[in-house]
Structure 1
Amino acid sequence: MSPRSARTAAPDEKAPPVAGSAALGAARRRVSAGRMAVWVALAAGPAALVLAMLPAPRTVAAAPKKTATVVATPPVADPSGYAELLVSSWLASSTKSVSEASRRVQAMAPGTALPDTPAPATLVSAINTAPTAPGRWQVTVAATDKAGAVRYFALPLMADGDRFGVPAGPAQVAAPAPAAESAESGYPVTVPTGRSLATTVGEFLTAYLSGGQIDRYAVPGVRLSAPQAAYHKVEVEQLGADQQAAAAESVAADGTQVRVRARVRAQDAAGGAWPLDYGLALTARAGRWEISAVTASSLTPVGGTR
């Protein structure tokens, strides 16, 4: 056997551990990289080292925003119309005959006694609605007959779910007492004819009720709207104010505001005279009075907007 053959026939030498060497090299590289990171952190300072050792921050989902629950509130019932219809039907009913009015009464207020003789009203209006308890009212109704006489009836009503109940029939009552305080009490100062404010009010109401130009009497920026009226003559009969400045001979200082109540007599094309009451708000500016609002009463504006 030749030496070459002997070398070939010699026991197999172990192959170098290729896979194991690769794994060992990767581990050594990781250790070296870790050492390098530590040295870099040390070189950057303690703060960087601490940051490098901290865990990554977690993302926290924001809590859902709470929303308020809206609860619908049912509107407050108005029993006045129900009372008007019931009293009107009751007055037109009779025990001696069955009519549409009597059937309506029995449907709206079962068991309500009917009058013997009908006395239909030409006009029925609820003039007062007074709460007596939660869900209960007493409605006072004025009924005008064909002769113009007015009678007053009180009717108790109660809420029955989405309908009204009538615990008792109508009762005739006395006419309501007038208010203790009259409308004139809010205007204690009488404005004499010929005063600057009286002249402005007279000219304005004449234009207001006869289709004339009213913008030139208004405070700048205030738009006044006039009714569709064509009276031929307008005369101020009474003029009261809420303060003395309105009755002064000279115009008050700029910015002074007063309220007045004017009673006028307006004559139409046929010669008929109409007594009309107006409330006006006026403001002093540049030596003259200007209209800032027109009211049908002392509180409710009907013709002045900015």
Structure 2
Amino acid sequence: MSSLLVRRRGRKAAAPAELPAPAGGGPGAGAARPGTDRTAAPRSSAAGGDDGDDAPPQVVEWSNGPALVTKAWGALLALALLAGPAALAWTFLRPDPAPVAATSGPADTAAQAAANERAVELVETWLRADKDDQQLLASLTSAPVGSLPQEGLTIRDSSIAQSEAAEDGVWSVTVGVDVAEPAPGSTPPPAGQAEGEEADVPLVWVRRYFQVPVLVERTETRYSGPELAVAALALPAPVPGPAAAEPPDLDYPETISPTSEAGQSVSGFLAAMVAGDGEISRYLRPGTTISAIVPAPYAGVAVTGIKGSHELSESPADGDGTHALTTVELTRLDGQKTTSQYVLTLVARDGRWEVAGVEPAVRIDTTPTGTNGSGTAGR
């Protein structure tokens, strides 16, 4: 049984051996009787003695502990019984959780890559296939192969034009391919031409597009873990290519002369970057890091036109700038020429123009009609 140690408040009771002997003779002095011990015995406060003297510590037995424990267990059991019906009612009455939108992650990326690879493989094989390639095509698709031509086509430059998830693990993949076809207006070879005999028919490259539905499933293997299984569900279907978008107006209203101070900085920078002509760092704004192409892919660069997003002053202040759409003529190492374009950021410092960056995209004109969009380029 539990016990509780308690003590009355007040001075600590002196030990019996420390109590002083009473003074002699006076009333209530309690002189020792002859033949008895002169040491006074301690008095009990329970008998109504002096309040100044504390009784020694007492041990009080606490008999209510088991009763409180029993009551606590009873209360917990009652709460549990009450919570059961409440939880059951909440299960039936709570609203349905909002659907969680599927997010693209590494698994989806892997599935899309697998679908794209199978679609490209099937389209290339189907276009090149002849009458002897029945089994080869059958290994790439679950669809019946059907008829194949006597001779396959010549193709090149296959790529993914579009790839999107359809449903239930099926991906719709559109593959673009360059196909060698007879030039428009040319005469097709005669029907009775002997096999192996070449026809003198001019060919041209035509970009064609083919759509393939591909199923991608995840399977568990004992040793290598989850893997992807793919199956093309149909033969390639010729489809139209992506529609041409209406090109927007570009935000380069100002003309910059290639012979101006800004134009000469652009010419020197591009010559150093793509032709290895000069040190590229001398044309860069402090803090800008742009590396030259090594080895240089072109023998020369000629700037043929520059269009700026902002008007340039002949005496620019530090920080003035523009975004420059630059058209150049590149001379290849074999002497042939081709045209290219760069978008550069030019910023003025100490009266000269420096290149602060090569932009990854052109600027689209979003200025409302009738307003002046001129200003200062970002510094």
TM-score for both structures, normalised by structure 1: 0.63
1:82 equivalent in structure 2: 118
Q: CA deviation at 1:172?
A: 0.9
The answer (yes or no) to whether the contact 1:251–1:289 under 8 Å persists in 2 is no
Distance in 2, matches of 1:32 and 1:104, equals 110
Distance in 1, matches of 2:351 and 2:166, equals 54
Q: CA deviation at 1:120?
A: 3.8
Match among 153, 173, 189 for residue 139 of structure 1: 173
Q: CA deviation at 1:279?
A: 2.1
Match among 334, 338, 342 for residue 270 of structure 1: 334
Distance in 2, matches of 1:278 and 1:231, equals 15
The answer (yes or no) to whether the contact 1:196–1:249 under 8 Å persists in 2 is no
Gaps of 5+ in 1: 1-29, 36-71, 300-306
Give the 3 Å change call, closer, same or farther, for CA 75–128 of structure 1 in structure 2: closer
Match among 228, 232, 236 for residue 166 of structure 1: 232
Match among 231, 238, 246 for residue 180 of structure 1: 246
Give the 3 Å change call, closer, same or farther, for CA 249–143 of structure 1 in structure 2: same
1:201 partnered with 2:266:
yes
Q: CA deviation at 1:114?
A: 5.0
Amino acid of the residue matched to residue 132 of structure 2?
Answer: S
1:233 equivalent in structure 2: 300
Distance in 2, matches of 1:120 and 1:253, equals 60
2:49 equivalent in structure 1: none
Q: May I ask how many residue pairs the two structures share in their alignment?
A: 226
1:215 partnered with 2:269:
no
Give the 3 Å change call, closer, same or farther, for CA 116–267 of structure 1 in structure 2: same
Give the 3 Å change call, closer, same or farther, for CA 282–174 of structure 1 in structure 2: same
Q: CA deviation at 1:252?
A: 4.1
Match among 106, 126, 131 for residue 138 of structure 2: 106
Distance in 2, matches of 1:290 and 1:87, equals 49
Distance in 2, matches of 1:285 and 1:81, equals 51
1:255 equivalent in structure 2: 319
The CA deviation string for residues 197-235 of structure 1, in whole angstroms up to 9 with x for no partner, is 222112211222221211011111222111122533311
Distance in 2, matches of 1:178 and 1:200, equals 36
Gaps of 5+ in 2: 1-12, 19-104, 181-202, 219-227, 364-379
Q: CA deviation at 1:265?
A: 0.8
The answer (yes or no) to whether the contact 1:277–1:296 under 8 Å persists in 2 is no
- Structure richer in helix, relative to its length: 1
Give the 3 Å change call, closer, same or farther, for CA 123–210 of structure 1 in structure 2: closer
Give the 3 Å change call, closer, same or farther, for CA 172–230 of structure 1 in structure 2: closer
RMSD: 3.1
Q: CA deviation at 1:298?
A: 3.7
Q: Partner of 1:244: helix, strand, or coil?
A: coil
Amino acid of the residue matched to residue 153 of structure 1?
Answer: F
Kindly report which structure 2 residues correspond to 1:146-165, keeping only aligned pairs within 5 A, or say none: 146=180, 147=203, 148-161=205-218, 162-165=228-231
Query: Identity of counterpart residues, as a percentage?
Result: 26
Match among 283, 286, 291 for residue 347 of structure 2: 283
Q: CA deviation at 1:178?
A: 2.1
Give the 3 Å change call, closer, same or farther, for CA 233–254 of structure 1 in structure 2: same
The answer (yes or no) to whether the contact 2:317–2:349 under 8 Å persists in 1 is yes
Amino acid of the residue matched to residue 141 of structure 2?
Answer: A
The answer (yes or no) to whether the contact 2:137–2:145 under 8 Å persists in 1 is no
Give the 3 Å change call, closer, same or farther, for CA 93–232 of structure 1 in structure 2: closer
2:157 equivalent in structure 1: 123
Give the 3 Å change call, closer, same or farther, for CA 122–114 of structure 1 in structure 2: farther
Kindly report which structure 2 residues correspond to 1:3-152, keeping only aligned pairs within 5 A, or say none: 32=15, 74-76=107-109, 77=111, 78=113, 79-94=115-130, 96-98=131-133, 102-113=134-145, 115-117=147-149, 118-133=152-167, 135-146=169-180, 147=203, 148-152=205-209
Runs of 4+, deviation exceeding 6 Å? none
The CA deviation string for residues 8-65 of structure 1, in whole angstroms up to 9 with x for no partner, is xxxxxxxxxxxxxxxxxxxxxx9649x9xxxxxxxxxxxxxxxxxxxxxxxxxxxxxx
Give the 3 Å change call, closer, same or farther, for CA 269–167 of structure 1 in structure 2: closer
Q: Partner of 1:185: helix, strand, or coil?
A: coil
Distance in 1, matches of 2:321 and 2:147, equals 57
Amino acid of the residue matched to residue 331 of structure 2?
Answer: Q
Give the 3 Å change call, closer, same or farther, for CA 269–190 of structure 1 in structure 2: same
The answer (yes or no) to whether the contact 1:257–1:283 under 8 Å persists in 2 is yes
